[in-house]
Amino acid sequence: MRTVITGGAGFVGSHLCERFLAEGHEVICLDNLLTGHRRNIAHLLDNPKFSFLEHNISEPVQIDGAVDNILHFASPASPADYLAHPIPTLKVGALGTHNALGLAKAKGARLLLASTSEVYGDPDVHPQREDYWGNVNPIGPRGCYDEAKRFAEAITMAYHRYHGVKTRIVRIFNTYGPRMRLNDGRVLPALMGQVLRGEPMTVFGKGDQTRSFCYVTDLVDGIYRLLNCDFSEPVNIGNPSEITVLELAKEILAMVPGTKSVIEYRDLPQDDPKRRRPDITRAQTLLGWNPTIDRADGLRRTLEYFKGVL
């Protein structure tokens, strides 16, 4: 099997490269390194089944030879990144997805789109099921990411229905683990970086907004299963264990005895979702998938990684 992974030098993408190599695939990693980094794939470069192509998928791409699978994961994915790069975020959701689908059509390949729980916006339905259409502000500061992903889902379904392309859509909920960037703006690495440096831990609002955190290897396993399942509509992959941001901050604080960090409250950002928890019934039923890494274990592994980074 020959698999192309766009955004393959990013956090999730690099773990996907590892998994598909372990499954015996030849992997072509494509990334323009806007938010990804070569260090995430440095340990793979000597593998004869792995190749890296520095390219922006928002521009047309040509891959020589057969391609069996395309996993489209190229996109800024954290608020800090897509607020800093709103136009590239919109382009990769629209033009990048179009180019990836065109390649899949030309090669007769399966395409799996990385969508996001952000398509649900600030949800009125809890937990979020795949048949919920969402509550998104299209012109707010987060709209560049939310609407890029919603468009990406729409064009993916259009290529499936009109051209018969074999497509899959994964809606990814909050994911964490090694190779996250400490400065990517997401709540978990931000809190861990602050506590390791002995800085105030910033909690927005009262900290009563909730998140559900899935360890990266669990996510990758769900994605692998979805690619090999004959189902074209979106599937949530995430850990339904829900926690408030304040509770998360206190858990992380307790993991670093003797730190000088204290919790500091800031104003809540515009359009920040108040509750986030996946309904994973579809993944359980179709894929036989459940997360296996509990939060205490996952946080410990991630904190150890960040200690090495610092």
Same domain, 154 and 191: no
Same domain, 45 and 7: yes
CATH code: domain of residue 203 = 3.90.25.10
Same domain, 152 and 229: yes
**Parallel/antiparallel/unpaired status of strands 167-172 and 234-237:** parallel
Same domain, 150 and 193: no
pLDDT of res. 269: 81
Q: Which of 285, 220, 268 is nearest to 10 (CA)?
A: 220
Same domain, 235 and 247: no
pLDDT of res. 270: 80
Same domain, 14 and 158: yes
Of 64-68, 115-119, 204-208, the poorest mean pLDDT is in 204-208
Same domain, 158 and 35: yes
Write the pLDDT tens digit of every residue in 220-247.
999 999 999 999 999 999 999 999 999 9
Same domain, 260 and 286: no
Q: Which of 291, 177, 199, 310 is nearest to 249 (CA)?
A: 199
Range of the domain at 203: 187-208+242-275+298-309
First to last CA, the chain: 38
Let me know if residue 180 belongs to a domain. no
pTM of the model: 0.96
What's the domain count of the chain? 2
Preceding peptide of 178 cis, ω within 30°: no
Report d(CA 217, CA 15) in Å as an integer: 7
Q: What residues act catalytically?
A: 145
Q: Read off the tokens for 128.
A: 């979020």
Please check the confidence at residue 107 and state whether its pLDDT lies above 90: yes
199: Cβ contacts below 8 Å, ≥ 6 apart = 193, 261
Q: Which of 174, 170, 150, 169 is nearest to 238 (CA)?
A: 174
